[in-house]
């Protein structure tokens, strides 16, 4: 009973949200570099290039680029077995379509991974976490252009060859399925480097660029298997369980289709083919999405070794009377985005200050859903609570609410292993140190065990200090989850 002995306890971040050093070491601009700071309920803007007078929070972030030794030492002190981060594509290929990689960028990650190993920490690496080269977005419109598949494959091969033996766990695209929730400018840029224009058929483009990303993922999986057969390479899915609002069969059918539209990506990653229901959907809705026979063969070779997923919240969905074929995106988008939405409030759940429903049992549901559907090892690669933390006069931060959140989720996770027999490799919570929020660009939306002295206005000396949760998580790891 209990978690495996080599369970990968740790924390997860993404390069663009913490590194800073946006124009140092030969790094090129990424799409994150043209996203302004938003706020709680205020969307980030995408500017046309980098403009004077705008606030781009990812440019400095928390300057991990210069603090990584100190920060990884703190992760080591907590007993981390794993540290999930991403390789900024633009440190390796500054423009994405360069002939040769940038040695200074490669060397930076060499040293970072060596530092992890010094503390017995296994790097878990995402290749594309919302940080495509800006040049690829501008010149090719990101994954709308099939040439980006080759650029990604080349970048991946460079990483596998260079870090063979140092990195055992890889992931291709972070939260590749987020764009399905709302084919809007923010998600399409973050996940696929696609810049939408007025009058574009966003839904059709979202599906086509998704197919191209899935092909790029499949090619990277194949390359990883060839170059480093000892490594494991997974996908990364944003898992938000979708519950039927009631036992009305119409609600249940609506839920079925909501699942299809959100999780078809995982079917491709784990089964190596585009599911029939998706072809039917595109046909029915006159969406011109091309997958050639040759590409179908590429997908077959791209089956992942494990399923990595993030888990923050769940949704509930109710059938719409005017929606006979359960086309729930027509004219609307996901929760919070306005318009006609079939997503409804789940009255059984509370929410964070950012309105994200809190549902620990949903994590057990999610683990079971993946496990029975795909029969693959799983890794929880993100789970955490963004909150407003208060630093006291004496420097301490009592973040008991964060401890409660994580404790309840970890309990549900352990039940899924002990009671449901789920094969789980690890748990890397989001994010062990305060970083820039991906959706809102805020610093004050904090997730960390380690407080970083910097606020939304960019003020603060970037000093690090331990919150109450730091000591709690250390003990959780020490006891392999026996004592929460």
Q: Is 174 near ligand BG6 (CB under 6 A)?
A: yes
- The nearest distance, CB 243 to ligand BG6, in angstroms, is 20
Strand partners, 170: 125, 233
Interactions with ligand BG6, residue window 296-355 (CB under 6 A): 310
Q: Is 445 near ligand BG6 (CB under 6 A)?
A: yes
For 106-125, give one letter per residue: b (16+ CB within 10 A) or e.
Answer: bebbeebbebbeebebbbbb
CA dist 267 and 470 (Å) reads 37
CA dist 450 and 468 (Å) reads 9
Residue from 122, 131, 213, 382 carrying the catalytic annotation: 382
Q: Is 446 near ligand BG6 (CB under 6 A)?
A: no
Which of 163, 311, 427, 430 touches ligand BG6 by CB under 6 A?
A: 430
- The nearest distance, CB 312 to ligand BG6, in angstroms, is 6
Span near ligand BG6 by CB under 6 A; candidates 141-149, 327-335, 367-375, 432-440: 432-440
Q: Is 175 near ligand BG6 (CB under 6 A)?
A: yes
Q: Is 439 near ligand BG6 (CB under 6 A)?
A: yes
Span near ligand BG6 by CB under 6 A; candidates 28-36, 243-251, 340-348, 437-445: 437-445
Span near ligand BG6 by CB under 6 A; candidates 48-56, 140-148, 413-421, 435-443: 435-443
Q: Is 36 near ligand BG6 (CB under 6 A)?
A: no
Q: Which is nearer to ligand BG6, 151 or 309 (CB)?
A: 309
Q: Is 184 near ligand BG6 (CB under 6 A)?
A: no
Q: Which is nearer to ligand BG6, 73 or 337 (CB)?
A: 337
- 378 to 407: interface string for ligand BG6, x by CB under 6 A: ----x---x---------------------
- The nearest distance, CB 413 to ligand BG6, in angstroms, is 18
- The nearest distance, CB 86 to ligand BG6, in angstroms, is 9
Q: Which is nearer to ligand BG6, 156 or 428 (CB)?
A: 428
User: How big is the site for ligand BG6, counted in residues (CB under 6 A)?
Assistant: 14
Q: Is 175 assigned a catalytic role? A: yes
**What SS3 string covers the chain?**
CCCCCCCEEEEECCHHHHCCCCCCCCCCCEHHHHECCCECCECCCECCCCCCCCCCCCCCCCCHHHHHHHHHHHHHHHCCCEEEEECCHHHHCCCCCCCCCCHHHHHHHHHHHHHHHHCCCEEEEEEECCCCEHHHHHHHCHHHCCHHHHHHHHHHHHHHHHHCCCCCEEEEECCCCHHHHCCCHHHHHHHHCCCCCCCCCHHHHHHHHHHHHHHHHHHHHHHHHHHCCCCEEEEEEEECCEEECCCCHHHHHHHHHHHHHHHHHHHHHHHCCCCHHHHHHHHHCCCCCCCCHHHHHHHHCCCCCEEEEEECCCEEECCCCCCCCCCCCCCECCCCCCECCCEECCCCCEECCCCCEECHHHHHHHHHHHHHHHCCCEEEEECCCCECCCCCCCCCCCCHHHHHHHHHHHHHHHHHHHCCCCCEEEEEEECCECCCCCCCCCCCCECCCEEECCCCCCCCCCCEEECHHHHHHHHHHHCCCCCC
Which of 410, 438, 443, 452 touches ligand BG6 by CB under 6 A?
A: 438
Span near ligand BG6 by CB under 6 A; candidates 54-62, 199-207, 299-307, 433-441: 433-441
Which of 437, 448, 472, 473 touches ligand BG6 by CB under 6 A?
A: 437
Are the C-beta atoms of 121 and 76 separated by less than 8 Å? yes
Span near ligand BG6 by CB under 6 A; candidates 155-163, 262-270, 369-377, 439-447: 439-447
- The nearest distance, CB 482 to ligand BG6, in angstroms, is 28
Q: Which is nearer to ligand BG6, 92 or 438 (CB)?
A: 438
Are the C-beta atoms of 243 and 266 separated by less than 8 Å? no
Q: Which is nearer to ligand BG6, 231 or 381 (CB)?
A: 381
- The nearest distance, CB 394 to ligand BG6, in angstroms, is 28
- The nearest distance, CB 336 to ligand BG6, in angstroms, is 12
**CA diameter of the chain:** 64
Give phi and psi for 383, each to the nearest 5: -170, 125
Q: Is 203 assigned a catalytic role? A: no
Q: Is 274 near ligand BG6 (CB under 6 A)?
A: no
Q: Which is nearer to ligand BG6, 17 or 135 (CB)?
A: 17
Residue from 19, 175, 191, 442 carrying the catalytic annotation: 175
Residues at the contact surface with ligand BG6, assessed by CB under 6 A: 14, 17, 174-175, 238, 310, 382, 386, 430, 437-440, 445
Active site residues: 175, 382
């Amino acid at each position: 009973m209990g978690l495996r002995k080599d369970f990968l306890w740790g924390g997860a971040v993404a390069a663009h949200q913490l590194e800073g050093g946006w124009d140092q070491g030969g790094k090129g601009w990424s799409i994150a570099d043209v996203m302004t700071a938003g706020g709680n309920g205020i969307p980030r803007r995408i500017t046309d290039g980098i403009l004077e007078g705008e606030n781009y929070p990812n440019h400095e972030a928390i300057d991990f680029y210069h603090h990584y030794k100190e920060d990884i030492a703190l992760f080591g002190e907590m007993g981390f077995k794993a540290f999930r981060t991403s390789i900024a594509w633009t440190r390796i290929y500054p423009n994405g379509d360069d002939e040769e990689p940038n040695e200074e960028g490669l060397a930076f990650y060499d040293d970072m991974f060596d530092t992890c190993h010094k503390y017995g920490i296994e790097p878990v690496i995402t290749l594309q976490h919302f940080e495509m080269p800006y040049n690829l977005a501008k010149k090719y419109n990101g994954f709308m252009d099939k040439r980006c598949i080759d650029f990604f494959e080349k970048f991946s091969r460079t990483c596998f060859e260079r870090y063979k033996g140092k990195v055992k766990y890889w992931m291709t695209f972070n939260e590749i399925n987020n764009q399905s929730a709302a084919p809007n400018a923010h998600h399409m840029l973050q996940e696929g480097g696609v810049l939408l224009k007025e009058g574009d058929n966003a839904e059709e483009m979202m599906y086509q660029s998704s197919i191209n990303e899935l092909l790029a993922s499949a090619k990277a999986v194949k390359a990883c298997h060839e170059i480093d057969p000892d490594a494991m390479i997974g996908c990364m899915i944003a898992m938000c369980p979708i519950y039927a609002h009631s036992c009305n069969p119409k609600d249940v059918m609506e839920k079925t289709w909501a699942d299809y539209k959100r999780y078809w990506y995982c079917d491709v990653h784990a089964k190596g083919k585009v599911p029939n229901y998706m072809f039917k959907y595109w046909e029915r809705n006159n969406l011109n999405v091309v997958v050639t026979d040759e590409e179908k063969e590429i997908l077959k070779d791209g089956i992942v070794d494990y399923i990595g997923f993030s888990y923050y919240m769940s949704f509930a969905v109710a059938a719409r009377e005017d929606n006979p074929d359960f086309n729930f995106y027509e004219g609307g988008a996901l929760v919070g985005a306005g318009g006609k939405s079939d997503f409804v409030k789940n009255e059984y759940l509370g929410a964070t200050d950012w309105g994200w429903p809190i549902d620990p049992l949903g994590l057990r549901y999610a683990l079971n859903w993946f496990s029975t559907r795909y029969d693959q090892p799983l890794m929880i690669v993100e789970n955490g609570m963004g909150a407003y933390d208060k630093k006291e006069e004496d420097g301490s931060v009592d973040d008991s609410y964060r401890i409660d959140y994580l404790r309840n989720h970890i309990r549900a996770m352990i039940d899924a292993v002990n009671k449901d027999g789920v094969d789980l490799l690890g748990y890397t919570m989001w994010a062990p140190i305060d970083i820039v929020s991906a959706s809102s660009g805020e610093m004050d939306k904090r997730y960390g065990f380690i407080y970083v002295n910097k606020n939304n206005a960019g003020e603060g000396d970037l000093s690090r200090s331990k919150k109450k949760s730091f000591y709690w998580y250390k003990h959780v790891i020490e006891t392999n989850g026996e004592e929460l």
